[in-house]
Amino acid sequence: MLKVDLVLIGRTSIPYLEAGIKDYTARIGHYCRFAVRELPSVKNGGSLSSEELSRREGALFLAILAEYDRVLLLDEHGKEYTSRALATQLEAMTVQGASKIAFVIGGAYGFAPAVREKYPLQLSLSQLTFSHQLVRLIFLEQLYRVFTILRGEPYHHD
Amino acid sequence: MLKVDLVLIGRTSIPYLEAGIKDYTARIGHYCRFAVRELPSVKNGGSLSSEELSRREGALFLAILAEYDRVLLLDEHGKEYTSRALATQLEAMTVQGASKIAFVIGGAYGFAPAVREKYPLQLSLSQLTFSHQLVRLIFLEQLYRVFTILRGEPYHHD
């Protein structure tokens, strides 16, 4: 069965987002082996410059993401997809034989250049900026939607 | 003081979204007189076709929206904005003398053509489709962000 992780950094600190994440994690679990994989925050991150923080987070991401055979970054510089196009993208990955896929949300300042260079497949959720905590819930709803599209289930209507 | 309403139809039925909406409603209330204005669902809506339902909801919206001097619809056919561009849009409305502004989220099937014709100022949150329940929370975070941008407060970074 396909293994999919949502990889992110730092705790979800807002209780209502945590509740929503739990809800969608359970729903997505009907379609694949799914987990939210939370990497620990960089120690004393608050005392670092945004560049240095994102560089250190980047090193952590690069170490972890090597475990996956497909990686898609959620990045504001990425390409915008419709929900159906994202479903097609996920389907293409599995048709190409991917069995362990990571979707990745960066830290508060996004991804370091080294991470963006290594993983060019990048999705931008919106031209609007959303808080990186809220992005977790937004993306999970989207991933759930994508699976319902691939199964032809009646959740999504264009 | 500027009056801003988020007008929408039907109850927020998911407790964690309700909690998030309450949180952002309080935060936005520091910048303007703000309320979420929930119109009652159309009776027996479930037994109607999607066109008929959105037509009846449209009649309800048109009656209510006449009270506002500026109306912006959240509609998938609308224009995509960055958060800064949306802030500029809100600022322009107030500079032009608007004192009562409505942001409006349609029903599950979006807005009837009559509503979209009457109110051409339309914002698309994303090319992705989000559930119309989740859109409520997403937009409130955005509206909060817009006010922090206009005040030069350190919530938003590009």
Burial class from Cβ neighbours inside 10 Å (0-12, 13-18, 19+) for residue A129 reads buried
* Res A44: pLDDT: 86
- Give the contacts of B52 (CB within 8 A, at least 6 positions apart): none
pTM: 0.94
- Give the contacts of A21 (CB within 8 A, at least 6 positions apart): A12, A36, A136, A137, A140
Top pLDDT among B156 and A141 is at A141
Helix A83-95 crosses helix A134-150 at what angle (to 10 degrees)?
70
The CATH superfamily assigned to B3-150 is SPOUT methyltransferase, trefoil knot domain (3.40.1280.10)
B154 in reach of chain A (CB within 8 A): no
Top pLDDT among B157 and A105 is at A105
Residue that the structure tokens 């475990």 belong to: A67
CA distance A23 to chain B (A): 10
* Average pLDDT value for residue range B16-39: 97
* Average pLDDT value for residue range B95-117: 94
Instruction: Determine whether the interchain pair A127/B17 forms a contact, defined as Cβ–Cβ distance below 8 Å.
Output: no
What confidence category does residue B13 fall into, taking pLDDT thresholds of 50, 70 and 90?
Answer: confident
* Average pLDDT value for residue range B62-74: 97
CA distance A66 to chain B (A): 28
- Give the contacts of A57 (CB within 8 A, at least 6 positions apart): A9, A39, A42, A106, A107, A112
CA distance B97 to chain A (A): 26
Contact A81, A138 (CB under 8 A): no
Inter-CA distances, B37 with A117, B9, B138, Å: 45, 8, 16
Q: Which DSSP string do the residues of chain B spell out, in sequence order?
A: --EEEEEEES----HHHHHHHHHHHHHHTTTSEEEEEEEPPPTTGGGS-HHHHHHHHHHHHHHHHTT-SEEEEEEEEEEE--HHHHHHHHHHHHHTT--EEEEEE-BTTB--HHHHHH---EEE--SS---TTHHHHHHHHHHHHHHHHHTT-TT---
| Amino acid letter, B38 | E
What confidence category does residue A9 fall into, taking pLDDT thresholds of 50, 70 and 90?
Answer: very high
Q: How far is CA A117 from the centre of its chain?
A: 17
A17 in reach of chain B (CB within 8 A): yes
Q: What is d(CA B88, CA B82) in angstroms, rounded to the nearest whole number? A: 10
Interface of A with B in 64-93 (CB under 8 A): 80-83, 86
Inter-CA distances, B23 with A109, B52, B114, Å: 24, 34, 33
Residue that the structure tokens 């909801």 belong to: B57
Average pLDDT of chain A to the nearest whole number: 95
CA distance B136 to chain A (A): 12
**B14, B15, B86 member nearest A128 (Cβ):** B86
B17 in reach of chain A (CB within 8 A): yes
Q: In sequence order, what are the beta bridge partners of B122?
A: B73
Interface contacts A/B by beta carbons within 8 Å: 76
Instruction: Determine whether the interchain pair A81/B125 forms a contact, defined as Cβ–Cβ distance below 8 Å.
Output: no
Reference B87, options B145, B1, B157; nearest CA is B145
Sequence ranges of the domains in chain A: 3-150
Residue B137 corresponds to which tokens in the numbers above?
């929370």
Instruction: Determine whether the interchain pair B129/A158 forms a contact, defined as Cβ–Cβ distance below 8 Å.
Output: yes
